[in-house]
Amino acid sequence: AWSASGATGWSYEDCLPYFKKLERLELLADPASARHLPSDLQRADPAFHGTEGPLNVAPLRSLTPMAHVFLAAAKLAGMKLTADFNGESQAGAGLYMFNQRNGQRVTAEGAYLAPIRNRPNLSVIPNRRATRLIMEGKRCIGVECGTEQFHAREVILSAGSFVSPHLLMLSGIGNERDLRKAGIVPMHHLPGVGENLQDHLDITIEYKARSTAPYGISWKSLPRNVLHVADWLLRKRGLFASTTAEGGAFVDTTSGTRPDIQLFFCSGVANTQNAKGFTGHGFLMHVCQLRPGSVGALKLKSASAKDKPSIIYNFFRGQSTFESLREGLKIARAIVAQTPFAPHLDREVSPGPEVVSDGAIEAFIRQTASTLFHPIGTCKMGTDEMAVVDPKSLRVHGIDGLRVVDASIMPSIVSGNTVAATYMLAEKAASQIKAGTP
């Protein structure tokens, strides 16, 4: 879809080598890491994965019984099981893999920066907030951080889908009309800056458990929770090596060509941003709309870097509808209604068993939907009048010495978590820059 939209050089075939370059998949690099997984979930095709990259990707080291309950129930609900959401086919139910090594999350800093931190040609200057780009006509020559200035032959913005466009606008690069309205002298008219904002929409179904199999706090589970602490300290396993979002699925509710809903099954009630929460034990299901159809924008409030911009998502407007989330909620309920969940299920807490009709479900969605923190698109790459960066070099159109390399350059949102795609585009951009792409 990116390539078709005008981002030439960013087709799936163009990007796959960089997905493989960034990754060290333990299932292939260290097959023994999967010995605790069901046998039909231990496969991964090396055609789609790397084994020598800086970013370790691994299955969870410990699974709750609820992860197996979810898989069995999904299969009874008519879903196929998949060993690899990043393989040949995304559709189906399975277990997630994580940016994790030895039970701990691997960050971008840990994977990329820490190993080279002592290089003589690298300076890391912490605790600074970029406030403006330093411009000489149509050329960027550095970055201003309050009263400090840092000059450079070239500047690469990697500040994310909110801050990168904000810095461009504060520096006079953006829609001329909006800049003048905010009290900024336009340096370069680029109307796409801050436009094309997209994100994943998410709702949560909460369930109270009758068993103590899900993670939770109770007198009965106190000894086990103490053991979880010991397990983490001694073996880096158990609860504290888990995100609780152990299993999930990708499903198509529209009879289209690819899944439009992603499910996250969480064997606890803590892993969510909009659950009501309760004491005791429970589990929940995230229902994520992968392509909501809504397009928003980031707008300046003032010419001051201290004033955060307005973030306008426009959810449920334009091409955005309730249909996928509504049907996704029904699919999630159908999974939990299967017999493997019976020994563990007490009741549905939210939205509750009374929320059944399409209208009631849509009201619940409108009241509780939130994002999954995957904003993209506000400096999109392409060649049309709303494009901000050139897809070949990722240079800002019409500006010398300035590139943008982060999720803001994605023309459209990917059908899954955005982190892997962000790493990929950074790897591809780094290769282009090292090759001297003009």
Active site residue 374: yes
In contact, 262 and 76? CB cutoff 8 Å: no
Phi, psi of 85 (to 5 degrees): -65, -20
Q: 2-12: string of b/e by CB count within 10 Å (b at 16+)?
A: bbebebbebee
The number of helix segments (H) and strand segments (E) in the chain equals 10, 21
The active-site residue, picked from 49, 188, 228, 374, is 374
Lookup result for tokens 């001297």: 436
Q: What angle do CA 45, 51, 55 make, to 5 degrees?
A: 115
Q: 17-50: string of b/e by CB count within 10 Å (b at 16+)?
A: ebbbbbbbbbbbbeeebbeebbeebbebeeeebb
Q: Which two tokens stand for residue 85?
A: 């959401």
Rounded to a whole number of angstroms, the distance between the first and last alpha carbons of the chain is 25
Q: How far is CA 42 from CA 35, 142, 288, in A?
A: 8, 49, 25
Give bridge partners of residue 283 from the DSSP assignment: 207
Residue spans of beta strands (DSSP E) within 113-170 = 132-136, 139-145, 148-151, 155-157
Residue spans of beta strands (DSSP E) within 291-351 = 297-299, 310-312, 345-350
Give the Cα separation of 339 and 345 in Å (integer): 10
Catalytically active residues are 374
